Structure 1
């Protein structure tokens, strides 16, 4: 597969993942699917916007760059037909690195949030009743949270989705780093009607 076409496929895949990560982060502002009466009752990691900034906004830029590589005009640069395309592929490596950083940020926040557990009401106060991920294997502990209803499965589901999707994003951006290096060194399959290296 041509390096430009490969980059386009990666870009097409990254966009829906970025949208889903953003939506998952937004849903986390409504613990248990309900509006809480105070922002202090929302889990701290939600406020770091891992899904909105890391796997959302920071992922849109690489995705758009990857999508545009296939249609990039590679004609005419220092008298070399493939120079423009090679430079575009090289620049995609920088954007892919930004994508890896954004996805890594979301991945790390999600892992911390899963290990820490949700913030919920225990008796008359709001706190974090779980430590070191012990609630993940012991579902009887979920009853410690009296409110909001279903907060533990809500927290687990959404942060798990963020963890998986950001992991996939990091892998896809890593693939583009390799693809970009190949495109920089070898060029794309076709450039200005001429044949280039694959």
Structure 2
């Protein structure tokens, strides 16, 4: 498999999601059971290739690239479309996985891949999960709501102030309506001596005169 370029993405802008400079690739038998594979059956030192792994994202598609760490020469590529069934964990270890690689003719093969450190395997899993979250995340509605609110026509301000000569009514509970008229300066109804238009109340009835 050495030197086989299974997916050419040289002319596409790429984002690097994950890099590990030391992974090992194993030749594995046909799937032993419906449950899956066990890395213990591969032989930890029986790997057929070791080198660098990069997860590259471009146009919504992630690709696992197995490369020579010094020259960048490709060994194999594993496309990772949703729901991500091309990468499968093994049953007996968190450091080993099965990759389903595909060549340009559509031919598929399964290989084992292992990390020396559990921390690298954990980061590998996180990078794949983050990629899937971005693919399934709903589009943001903030831009559409802001545009709709900005396009809504604004109503003109209305003037509720009384003009000269206009009247208004006030309803008093248990009584009728009191009609008031806007005071015109210098007009009728002003108090004696310019008392600001206050009403003069009649004097209270007088009592009996003291003799």
Query: Structure 2 length normalisation: TM-score?
Result: 0.28
Greater relative contact order (CA < 8 Å, ≥ 6 in sequence): 1
- Name the one with the larger strand percent: 2
TM-score under structure 1 length normalisation: 0.29
Structure with the bigger percentage of helix: 1
Q: Select the structure of larger CA radius of gyration.
A: 2
